[in-house]
Amino acid sequence: MVKKNREVWREMGLFGPDSDPANQLQSYNNQNPILPAPIKDIVIRRFSRYICQKYRRMKKTLVLGASIRPDRYAYRAALSLLRAGHAVVLVGNQAGEVGGQPLLQGRPDVSDIDTVTLYLNPVRQREYYDYILALHPKRLIFNPGTENPELAALAEQQGIACVEGCTLVMLSVGTY
């Protein structure tokens, strides 16, 4: 079921039915007809997207398989997450930094992880099963080439939502 932005806002506890900013903007535009109707709709859509993105930025993401090499998708995803304002923890097998964020090695002790996005092939993921599940993320993203039915089944048993998709695409279209 696709939810409208107002429903998402209410679920996040940001706005009540009377204080919905999209309704306030709509009523303001109706009272002050400066803009033609199609432009009003565009303004309202962009405003709605802005509000949702602003409050979704609080999600902390762990990038497993992060890289310091700029030609890697894990590197690009880490930069995109940082630019979008997400809190990011980078875990890889090399020391370094990406976008000013240190690249951690091993299994760092972190908490409050909302999303784990994978950039490791299924064979390399096996050694991280316990670590990933112990983080208790709300969501696990299998980027292209990392799809793993075994890990997905284990995660879903613990109530972790599994998504097969591309982090870069999700960020670019606003579905992250």
For range 24-39, the mean pLDDT? 54
pLDDT band at 51 (very low <50, low <70, confident <90, very high): low
Query: Could you tell me the residue ranges of all domains in the chain?
Result: 5-56, 60-173
The domain at 60-173 falls in which architecture?
3-Layer(aba) Sandwich (3.40)
List pLDDT tens digits, range 128-170.
Answer: 999 999 999 999 999 999 999 999 999 999 999 999 999 999 9
Q: How many CA atoms lie within 13 A of 9 on its CB side?
A: 21
Query: Half-sphere exposure of 121 toward its Cβ, with a 13 Å CA cutoff?
Result: 1
Tokens of 162: 């599994």
pLDDT at 2 (0 to 100): 43
Distance CA 34, CA 32 (A): 6
Query: What confidence score (pLDDT) does residue 77 get?
Result: 96
pLDDT (tens digit per residue) in 96-132: 999 999 999 999 999 999 999 999 999 999 999 999 9
Q: What is the 3-state secondary structure (H, E, C) of 63-111?
A: EECCCCCCCCHHHHHHHHHHHCCCEEEEECCCCEEECCEEEECCCCCCC
Average pLDDT over residues 73-81: 95
